[in-house]
Amino acid sequence: MQTVQLDEKKNVTIFEDQQVNTEKRPWFGSMPSQLGEDFSFVVMGDRCGMATEGVFEKALDMVKDLKPDFVLAVGDLIEGYWNNAADTHQEWDDIDGKIAAMGLPFFPVIGNHDYGNLTMAEVWRERRGLDYYAFRVGDTLFLSLNTEHTPDEFSDAFIDIIKRITADVKREPERANEHMSAFVDELKGQLTPEELQGFGKIKLSLGEEQLAYFRRVLANNADVKWTFVNMHKPGWKSESEEYQELIGMLGKRSYTIFAGHLHAMEYSRKGNAEFIQLGRTGGLAHGDGTNPSDENVVLWVTMRGGMPTYRVIHLDGVNDLTAYQPHQHVHGESV
């Protein structure tokens, strides 16, 4: 395993798999100078999966102003599912430019929309090189997983449905729930009962090479106070043996797993482990939108003394100052 000490003053180390021969990197920017044991970062949810335009961009603007030390993202940064490289590059060019303009270190993981077939996997490797990695900030370890090691490819007919509904949501965001219902109804008509049952399951693919890499990283960093695992699909909701192998590696250490995919904010704890499913940051709500967990959010994380605290920021509650125009007060002048 190759170790890259970014800067001793920054207290940050990147761990790269020597078996992957590439000069490209999936993250943006560099860590702030003199990053200490206490720091803060933001976790952003799925941008895509029938995105509402402008929501992720609003989150980027807000996070830029709040200035955390760095940002994590749980994947699905593009709509994806392209069968040609040109369209894939075009979509990446658009979002990469917006992320770079934020000006903060940004560490993404792969989502199924980012890596949904062999063409998209090849584009990822061409642009970003590594599809999994790890880094350490002081006494805190971060593991960035690829849950799409073997992409779960869909038929052309199914992709056509996704593309059409995505275009409908983009054109009429106020009717997003209607379009989502139409999507589900069309799926029921296209798929067999067995296929429908399988479609509702969380499928992970990590691969032995990736597991071996994280096994080495964890063994070489057994002294950390806290470990964060960032992955797109919530492995704790799957039947994946590879995920269980990862959990076995984490053992008795204190850790938090971030995931996305299901576009709903959830928190649970079991012993020394926390499980945080990020809500959406632009993607379409999978629920009816009436539950707070369905809202567009980002997660603020503060590390103090090796322990994390969390604050959920709801984007619908964050407004530009120009939204508050002068108006006539009901009670007239104040007394």
User: Domain of 49: which CATH number?
Assistant: 3.60.21.10
CA atoms of 105 and 329, how far apart (whole Å)? 44
Residue 179 has pLDDT above 80, yes or no: yes
Does a structural domain hold residue 139?
A: yes
pLDDT at 331: 61
For 214-218, the CB contacts below 8 A with 24+ separation are 214/132, 214/134, 214/143, 214/145, 214/246, 214/249, 215/249, 216/1, 217/1, 217/15, 217/134, 217/141, 217/143, 218/141, 218/143, 218/249, 218/250, 218/253
Residue 245 has pLDDT above 60, yes or no: yes
Are residues 65 and 183 both part of a single domain? no
Are residues 38 and 101 both part of a single domain? yes
CA atoms of 331 and 333, how far apart (whole Å)? 6
Are residues 277 and 129 both part of a single domain? yes
Are residues 257 and 180 both part of a single domain? no
> What mean pLDDT, rounded, does the chain reach?
91
pTM: 0.92
pLDDT at 54: 95
Does a structural domain hold residue 40?
A: yes
Residue 176 has pLDDT above 60, yes or no: yes
Residue 98 has pLDDT above 50, yes or no: yes
Are residues 265 and 171 both part of a single domain? no
Does a structural domain hold residue 278?
A: yes
- Summarised one tens digit per residue, pLDDT across range 274-328 is 999 999 999 999 887 788 999 999 999 999 999 999 999 999 988 888 888 887 7
Tally of structural domains, the chain: 2
Cα 78–81–85 angle (5° rounding)?
90
More confident residue, 154 or 173: 173
Are residues 44 and 160 both part of a single domain? no
Are residues 191 and 89 both part of a single domain? no
Does a structural domain hold residue 327?
A: no
Calculate what percentage of the chain has a pLDDT beyond 90: 70
- Summarised one tens digit per residue, pLDDT across range 196-228 is 776 778 999 999 999 999 999 999 999 999 999
Residue 5 has pLDDT above 70, yes or no: no
Q: Which of 227, 301, 313 is nearest to 38 (CA)?
A: 301
Does a structural domain hold residue 329?
A: no
Averaged pLDDT for residues 34-41: 91
Residue 6 has pLDDT above 60, yes or no: no
Residues 6+ apart with CB under 8 A from 317: none
pLDDT at 10: 52
Residue 99 has pLDDT above 60, yes or no: yes
Residue 117 has pLDDT above 70, yes or no: yes
Are residues 305 and 224 both part of a single domain? yes
Averaged pLDDT for residues 233-245: 97
Does a structural domain hold residue 223?
A: yes
pLDDT at 207: 97
Q: Which of 241, 248, 310, 313 is nearest to 275 (CA)?
A: 310
Are residues 86 and 230 both part of a single domain? yes
More confident residue, 152 or 213: 213
Are residues 9 and 134 both part of a single domain? yes
Are residues 83 and 216 both part of a single domain? yes
Q: Which of 147, 64, 67 is nearest to 98 (CA)?
A: 64
The answer to whether 209 touches 19, Cβ cutoff 8 Å, is yes
pLDDT at 34: 78
CA atoms of 109 and 265, how far apart (whole Å)? 18
Does a structural domain hold residue 333?
A: no
Q: Where is average pLDDT lowest: 33-37, 69-73, 92-96, 253-257?
A: 33-37
Are residues 90 and 190 both part of a single domain? no
- Summarised one tens digit per residue, pLDDT across range 44-89 is 999 999 999 999 999 999 999 999 999 999 999 999 999 999 999 9
Does a structural domain hold residue 212?
A: yes
The residue from 202, 230, 262 where one domain ends is 202
pLDDT at 213: 96
Averaged pLDDT for residues 180-209: 83
Q: Which domain holds residue 222?
A: 2-152+204-319
